[in-house]
Structure 1
Amino acid sequence: MIVGAGAVGVEMAGEIREKYSETKITIVSSQETLVADFTPKFQKNIKSILEDQNIQVVVGRVDLSSVVLNKVKTQNVQLSSGENISADLVISCIGLPSNVDSIKMLVPSADNIDNNRIKVNQYLQVDGLTNVFALGDCCNTVERKMAVYAGKQAECVVANIVAEAAGKQMTVWSFGFNGMLVPIGSKTGVGYINGFHPLGFMVRQLKSEDLFTKRYWGDLGVKMPA
């Protein structure tokens, strides 16, 4: 059982299916929409692939405090609907909440916090602190919290620090990308890129083969292991 039907949960299910063709896999989703609410076609494509790979999706919530996670242990897991599902292994893929305590230590007051994230202005400066910037998951920009946005925000912050030091106009944060690629195993997947729905073989070529690991090893300036 995989609890959570975001990109991580769906990708995890695909990885397990590829390795274990006969294993029964159930994804528990808190809502009918899987991964992201881009378009009905995006949803149809995801659900079609999961069905083809015999990966079951059930809608409900799980009280994770009552479940043993990440250990092989046969247990009955009760959903909020009242349904009970027997599982030999339960993996949580629901993500983590913002580290509010850490944020409160970094910013001067609660006025700088918005929905447990740090408020930033259009230049990614912390609200009220022109010499401090925030980017990535910790800041309250409106886009989905993904590595692709964090990387572009880092470029914006670097440019703005250099511009401010030189007394020049800073750059307003913007990134003309709306989408996501979701591999389901190494051979297929679904995606949405600025209104376009790439086919499974395109997702494979773009991401599924290495999950962008080669790119990020390169970004870190180190050689990817063989």
Structure 2
Amino acid sequence: MNGYISFKMVHKLLLSLMPSKSEISSRKEYFEIPWASLRGMVEPSFAERSVIHHRDYLTNGHVITSRAINITDTEVLTAEGRLVPYDYLVIATGHTDPVPKTRTERLEQYQADSEKIKASRSILIVGGGPTGVELAGEIAVDFPEKMVTLVHNGSRLLEFIGPKASNKTLDWLKSKNVEVKLEQSVDLNSISEGNKTYQTLAGDIIKADCHFLCTGRPLGSAWLKTTVLKDNLDNFGRLKVDENLRVHGRKNVFAIGDITDVQEIKQGYLAQKHALVAAKNLKLLITGGIESKMETYVPKSIKAFVSLGRQDAVAQFPFTTVIGIIPGLFKSKDLFVGKTRKQLGLDPHIVHV
């Protein structure tokens, strides 16, 4: 297991099954609330609450700080060579993200990013998905004097949601003096630390003091291709799951979050719903319940929130799209960090180091 939603699920499961033994394999000693990460780049102290050490909330579970590299029908093999037996397994490896192993190093990384932003007069952001858009929004609001350029190879921003939301977001960014270049790609081979001149594949020259790559991250499923679950991966590398979030053909293996082939947009709040369903079904099975009583996960209709700085957001609902302060009230101010910490039994505001 790995990732934010897996740890939230385990926390809920352990609370309801105190005598049960749960072991978690993670390549990091902490988990991170993913949708809060971009705020930490402009306000490093914010990351103190969103980067949480496992020991702070898992009081009756055991964390193995080593990534999983293989699975058999009965065991998980970790990178350090440890074999971990299991009765039930949950895979929640999400996306591959090159982040440090320790919480201290991760917080130092946020501090370094913040200092880089503060020291730059002009900033290039490559990628117009939710990560690139939210980072552009954070910088434009906190540092309006800086020149921000966002380059995206698609015909519109936020292509995972509808064109109305994309257009409203583009207008908002332009109102904050963010220069947006669509249908262009930056020559990644021309990018190097200290290089202040960048060239698009169309030949345009962009001058910037620093850059941030916000392009898509690969799914964290490559390691599964040589395991007993290799035939359960679809053409996109996602695990095929049934309506109970069990891997197809497996009675005791669940998968949740972005790594699944559930037909819905990939948003954090939906991953949380996966976790809740999987936790309920695991509790039922562990306590000897009847399989027919397992909870079914129904893919949700298109609803998405993208933060735009500290106050605004764009929200897409099935029948309308809204941008501005009202959707921002739901997400942008605290990015659900206090709420999430409270759900884990932690103080919403205070961090004990």
Note whether the superposition's TM-score is higher than 0.5: yes
> CA deviation digits over 1:202-221, x for unaligned, max 9?
12211111111111112222
Equivalence for 1:53: 176
> CA deviation digits over 1:158-193, x for unaligned, max 9?
222234430142222114342211221112221112
2:298 alignment partner, SS class: coil
Of 216, 219, 227 in structure 2, the residue corresponding to residue 95 of structure 1 is 216
One-letter identity of the residue aligned with 2:197: N
Equivalence for 1:113: 233
Where structure 2 has 5 or more consecutive residues not aligned to the other structure, the ranges are: 1-123
**Between Structure 1 and Structure 2, how many residues are aligned?**
222
Higher RCO by CA contacts (8 Å cutoff, separation 6 or greater): 2
Of 193, 197, 205 in structure 1, the residue corresponding to residue 329 of structure 2 is 205
Sequence identity of aligned pairs in percent?
Answer: 30
Q: Conserved in 2, the CA contact under 8 Å of 1:187 and 1:208?
A: yes
RMSD over aligned Cα, in angstroms?
A: 1.9
Equivalence for 2:270: 149
> 1:118/1:66 Cα in 2 relative to 1: closer, same or farther (>3 Å)?
farther
Where structure 1 has 5 or more consecutive residues not aligned to the other structure, the ranges are: none
Equivalence for 2:296: 172
Equivalence for 2:338: 214
One-letter identity of the residue aligned with 1:3: V
One-letter identity of the residue aligned with 2:256: L
Answering whether residue 313 of structure 2 is matched by residue 189 of structure 1, we say: yes
Answering whether residue 147 of structure 2 is matched by residue 24 of structure 1, we say: yes
1:45 alignment partner, SS class: helix
Q: Conserved in 1, the CA contact under 8 Å of 2:307 and 2:314?
A: yes
Q: Distance in 1 between matches of 2:304 and 2:187?
A: 29
Q: Distance in 2 between matches of 1:182 and 1:86?
A: 27
Equivalence for 2:103: none
TM-score, length-scaled by structure 1 = 0.89
Q: Conserved in 2, the CA contact under 8 Å of 1:124 and 1:134?
A: yes
Deviation at 1:74, TM superposition (A): 4.1
Q: Conserved in 2, the CA contact under 8 Å of 1:74 and 1:86?
A: no
One-letter identity of the residue aligned with 2:175: D
Q: Distance in 2 between matches of 1:34 and 1:223?
A: 36
Deviation at 1:134, TM superposition (A): 0.3
Equivalence for 2:74: none
Of 151, 154, 159 in structure 2, the residue corresponding to residue 36 of structure 1 is 159
Q: Conserved in 2, the CA contact under 8 Å of 1:46 and 1:190?
A: yes
Q: Distance in 1 between matches of 2:307 and 2:337?
A: 13
